[in-house]
Amino acid sequence: MSPRLLQKEHRIDVIEPASRTATVRVASVRVASVRVASVPAAHPYVRAVCAAEGVVVLADPVTDPAHPDRWWPPAMLDAGWIRRSADRFDVMHVHFGMESLPEGRLAAALDALDALGKPLVYTVHDLQNPQLDDQTGHLGDLDLLVPRAARLVTLTSTAADEVRRTWGRDALVLAHPTLLDDDADDPVDADPHPDPGLEAPLVVGVHLRDLRPNIDAEAAVRALLQALDALASAGVAATGRVLLNATTRDEALARRLEASLRGRGDCDLIVRARPDDAALLAELDRLDVALLPYGHGTHSGWLELCYDRGVTVVGPGSLAMAGQHPDGYVGVATPDDAGRAVLEAVSRGARAGSPERRRLVAARRERRLAERALVAEAHAALYREVLAEGRPR
C-alpha cells in the first residue's frame, strides 16, 4: 500500500477464509497513522494482521530480563503502564494472555483505558481458553472485555454468532491469515514405499505437542487407533504417527500414551525435541491426514498451518475451528467415526509428496497471501474508525 492511501482506507466488514467468497463493503475514513498497544505484540498472528502501512505496533515490554522474548504476563494490561504510556499509543488491541494476570489487574486496566479515552479492540480468539482446564476465570475475563470493547473481532461466523447470543454484541469476522511467507519451502517428498510397485500406505498423524490442557491426548490416540483398525478392515493400508515433544506438561500421561501404543506395528510414537519451523513443516508434509487432538477450544492456528501445507484435517465437528477452512476440515462427533472421516479427508486432499500436493500448496499460497493483505488492511481501517469516533462507547 502506498503512503498516499493512508488517507483513504478500506473498511472490510467480513473477510471469510480464502476458501470462501469474501463480502466486502468499502467506506472512506480520514485519520493519520495509528499506534497500537497490542497484547501481545511479538506473536506471529499479530505481526501478520498489523502489517498494513501506517500501523505502528509498540514492542512488548520485557517482563523477565532472563527471557527477553517472553511476553507473558502481558505488562501492557496494567493500569499503571497504561497511564504512564498514554502518550505512546492510540488504540489498545487485546488478543490473548489474560489468564496469566493476577486477579483484578484486567478490570483496573480497562478502567484506566476508559478514564483516558483510549479505545479498546478485542479479538475473541478463544471462547474457551486452550491453556486452561477450568474456564471460570476465562469466562469472567470475557464478561469484562466483550461488553467494554469499542470493537470486537473474531475469526469465524460460528464464534461471532456465539458472541451475539451471549453478550448481544456484533463481532467483525476476519479470517486467520497465513503465517507462512511466499518464500516458504515447497513440500518435501513422501517417504518411499519399500516396494516401488505398491502405493505407499496412508499416513495419519496426530501432534500432541507438549500436552497443553486442551489436548485430549488419550482420546486422540484412541481415535487414531480406531481409524487405523477401520481402514485395515476396509482393506486400506495405513500407518499412524503420534508426535510428542520430549518436554511435556504431564510426564505421567506421556508414559501412559507410550504404554498404549506398545505392540501396535502400524503406529509409531515419535518423541523428539520441540521442532523448529522447518522441521515442523517437514513433519506435516509427510502426512496425508492430520487428526486434531483438541478436547475443547475455539480456533486453531495449527489448523491454519495444515491448510497451508495441503494436509486435510479431521477434528471435532462441534468447535468453531471447523469453519476456518471447511474445504480442508472433516468434522467428527465420536472417535468411532474417525475411520470414515479419514477416508473422506483423503478424498478431499492430495497425497503427501505428490505433484498434486505441490500444486495445491502453491495455489493456496497465492490466495492466502492476498487474503493476508486484506486482513491487515481491515485491521488498519478498524483502528482508524474507532479513533475517528472518539471515546469508546
**C-beta of residue 266 within 8 angstroms of C-beta of residue 232:** yes
Identify which of 261, 288, 280, 311 has the alpha carbon closest to the alpha carbon of residue 200.
288
pLDDT at 171: 98
- Find where cell 489448523 sits: 303
Grid coordinates representing 38 are 497490542
Measured between its terminal Cα atoms, the distance across the chain in Å is 30
**C-beta of residue 240 within 8 angstroms of C-beta of residue 204:** yes
Neighbours of 314 (CB within 10 A): 27
d(CA 300, CA 353): 24
The helix (run of H) or strand (run of E) holding residue 155 is none
Residues recorded for the chain: 393
d(CA 124, CA 143): 12
DSSP lists the bridge partners of residue 312 as 289
pLDDT at 25: 42
pLDDT at 16: 64
**C-beta of residue 365 within 8 angstroms of C-beta of residue 180:** yes
- Please return the burial class of 22, using the count of CB atoms within 10 Å of its CB with bins 0-12, 13-18 and 19+: middle
Q: Identify the structural domains of the chain with CATH numbers, from first to last.
A: 3-180+368-388 (3.40.50.2000), 202-352 (3.40.50.2000)
pLDDT at 74: 95
Grid coordinates representing 34 are 495509528
- Please return the burial class of 109, using the count of CB atoms within 10 Å of its CB with bins 0-12, 13-18 and 19+: buried
**C-beta of residue 180 within 8 angstroms of C-beta of residue 257:** no
pLDDT at 393: 42
What pLDDT tens digit does each residue of the chain (393 aa) get?
Answer: 332 222 233 333 456 665 543 433 434 444 479 999 999 999 999 999 999 999 999 999 998 888 888 888 999 999 999 999 999 999 999 999 999 999 999 999 999 999 999 999 999 999 999 999 999 999 999 999 999 999 999 999 999 999 999 999 999 999 999 999 888 888 877 666 555 545 789 999 999 999 999 999 999 999 999 999 999 999 999 999 999 999 999 999 999 999 999 999 999 999 999 999 999 999 999 999 999 999 999 999 999 999 999 999 999 999 999 999 999 999 999 878 888 999 899 888 899 999 999 999 999 999 999 999 999 999 999 999 999 997 544
d(CA 120, CA 61): 19
Local structure of 292: helix, strand or coil = coil
**C-beta of residue 17 within 8 angstroms of C-beta of residue 393:** no
pLDDT at 199: 79
- Looking at residue 101, the DSSP 8-state letter turns out to be S
Instruction: Give this prediction's pTM.
Output: 0.90
Spell 194-217 as b/e; 16+ CB within 10 A means b. eeeeeebbbbbbbbbbebebbbbb
**DSSP string for 346-369:** HHHS--TTSHHHHHHHHHHHHHHH
d(CA 239, CA 264): 10
Identify which of 260, 212, 215, 211 has the alpha carbon closest to the alpha carbon of residue 240.
260
d(CA 140, CA 138): 5
pLDDT at 363: 96
